[in-house]
Every structure is written in C-alpha cells, then in structure tokens.
Structure 1
C-alpha cells in the first residue's frame, strides 16, 4: 500500500486501527472510517463519503447475486468484463 495514490480511504469500523490511521496520515490520504465505540477519543469523519461507500458495497452485492459473475464462468477476462457491463446496465435500468 506504499504506492497507493488516493484522496480518501473509505472503510468500515473493522479497519479502525491506529497503525492504519497513522499510515494514511503520513501519506496525506483522508480516512473515512467511523470510530469504534470503545475508542476514547471519537474522531470526526465525512458522513457523505461514508454513504458513498455504502452505495458501492450495494452495487458489488447486486453484481455477485448474478451467478455467472460470482462463480466466474467466463474464462476470458474480456468475457468476464462484458458480463459485468451487462449486469451493471441491468442494475441501472
């Protein structure tokens, strides 16, 4: 993760560790991780960006509901990407 270039890192409470927070602070990457309840100092995070993470996770869940993508029946990467595109179009419509 040393070569990671991003503006923000979105994750759930399971990734709320001091080591991870320090690493992203040194890399000048904003962290959007809600603090766990047992943390003494509750820090602020962007609720709008965290909602975006939820939407992305819902799209991945909808993609894996299609058995062809979850099991990856397509052996060629081009066919697999095409199946993902078809499923995304189905989700959008």
Structure 2
C-alpha cells in the first residue's frame, strides 16, 4: 500500500498495490491527486530513481530521498527535512490498530480501499471535533 499524507501525518490518498510492484510505480499518481502541490517529496530509499527525481524537480517539488546503497554516485539529501518523514510512518502506525487493514481481510481491492477511506475519515474527524 502506498499513501500520501499532509505535513501533520493525516492521510490524503491511498493506492493499494501488490507486493511485487516496485515502489516508484505509484508515486506519479499519488502526486497527481487534486490537492495542493507539495513543496517537498519525502520518501524512503525504495523511491530512489533518476526519472522520479527529474519529474519532481520539473514540477517544482524538491525530492528528499536518501540514495540507495548500490547507486554509483552519491546524491546528497537534506537530512533535516528527511527527519519529518516520521509523520508518514506515524500515519501508517495509526492505521495498524484497525485489524481489518493490518491483516487485509478484504478479498477485493475495492473493498480494501473503501475501508482505508473509512479509516482515514475516522482519523481526520479528530481534527474537526471541538476538544474543549
């Protein structure tokens, strides 16, 4: 599963894929969702490719991706901004308590994606409710 989140770690979009699908194949469709264009693209080493970096830079998005260990030339990245990627990891950790998502009980992609959206709504509601 691939996801896009905002700066606060709230989910914006999900793309469920198979386990054999490479990471950077779904990056373009996550960026193209109709929300504001991000200024930085924080991701893990699995998204490290020259094509993906060039596409992000062409659109005005700064890719902050650590280089893979087998890369011939080292590409520097901003470690200070990369530390903000923990918001994305926290977003995934808020999804894990929902047993239906963690174990993927749903047989079809459509029903799994629907439950991901229901879970995202539940996570977003906490930001709209008056907590006083």
Separation in structure 1 between the aligned mates of residue 120 and residue 40 of structure 2, nearest angstrom: 28
Larger % of strand: which? Answer: 2
Give the unaligned 5+ runs of structure 1. 89-93
| TM-score normalised by the chain length of structure 1 | 0.65
Aligned to 1:40: 72
Deviations 1:64-90 (CA, angstroms, capped at 9, x unpaired): 22337x378x97x77862x325778xx
Alignment pair present for 1:50 and 2:120: no
Deviations 1:39-68 (CA, angstroms, capped at 9, x unpaired): 121111111222111232123213322337
CA positional deviation for 1:12? 0.6
Q: 1:35 to 1:78 in 2, by over 3 A?
A: closer
Give the unaligned 5+ runs of structure 2. 1-27, 106-111, 128-132
Q: 1:63 to 1:86 in 2, by over 3 A?
A: farther
| TM-score normalised by the chain length of structure 2 | 0.49
8 Å CA contact 2:67, 2:75 repeated in 1: yes
Structure of higher RCO (CA pairs closer than 8 Å, 6+ residues apart)? 2
The structure having more radius of gyration, on CA atoms, is 1
8 Å CA contact 1:63, 1:87 repeated in 2: no
* Aligned residue pairs, count: 84
Separation in structure 2 between the aligned mates of residue 46 and residue 79 of structure 1, nearest angstrom: 32
Larger % of helix: which? Answer: 1
